[in-house]
Amino acid sequence: MRSSQPPGVATWVLTRFCNTNEVLAGDLAEEYQRGRTVAWYWRQVVVAILVGCGNEIRTHKLLTVRAVITGWAALILSGYLISLPLYKLYSRALVALGLGPLRFWWWHYYTYPIIFVPCVGGFLSGWLVARFHRTYRVAMVTMYVISVALAGFPEFFRLATNSVNNSRFVPYLLNYSLIEGLFVVSILLGGLRSTNTESARSLQ
């Protein structure tokens, strides 16, 4: 049986990621109670977020450029200051334990944690972008994520093309996709973390 209450997760996503959240959430709840489907509700939420982001990016182009530069600067800096030392430390620890040098993360289970090292930088950069662009954080973090995904696309395309021609490249493609995917998620989580912190502060 269909509940008279609109989907809770969708409402949470809407109020968290859309600027016109309260009025729009009220309208959606009203329409849902009049018999609209769950799919309709989710579609409205996704479109509202995308349209909101698009509008904010279009009306704040300079701010968007600043957000992307901020994200990349934080990413490069965290790479040198956090990811690289962590990677070297882990690699040395493996050698010291007689497990050999670190080559690929899928070599053995003990190398698996290394795929999370770049995520630390991703999380921090996402958090910083959201923190420095509080009013338009969703749009700014989204644009930064798009720039990261675009930067990784040529390598993805190269590996995908190679994999079509030669199945030997498939593990490389999967490895790259997994790392890129985790990286993008870590940026989004960083942005979300900033949103959560501010929501908690505003409730106090």
Binding site for another protein (CB under 8 A): 18, 20, 22-31, 33, 43-44, 47-52, 55
The minimum distance between CB 150 and another protein, in angstroms, equals: 25
Cα separation of 177 and 115, whole Å?
12
Nearer to another protein, 52 or 190 (CB): 52
Nearer to another protein, 18 or 188 (CB): 18
- Least CB distance from residue 71 to another protein, whole Å? 25
Q: In the bound complex, what is the minimum distance in angstroms from residue 43's beta carbon to another protein?
A: 7
Instruction: Tell me how far, at minimum, the Cβ of 42 lies from another protein, in Å.
Output: 11
Shortest Å, Cβ 36 to another protein: 10
Q: Shortest CA distance to 72 belongs to which of 123, 147, 132?
A: 147
Q: Nearer to another protein by C-beta: 63 or 102?
A: 63
Q: Phi first, then psi: what are they for 99, rounded to 5°? A: -95, 0
C-beta of 56 vs 180, nearer to another protein: 56
- The residue (of 17 and 183) whose beta carbon lies closer to another protein is 17
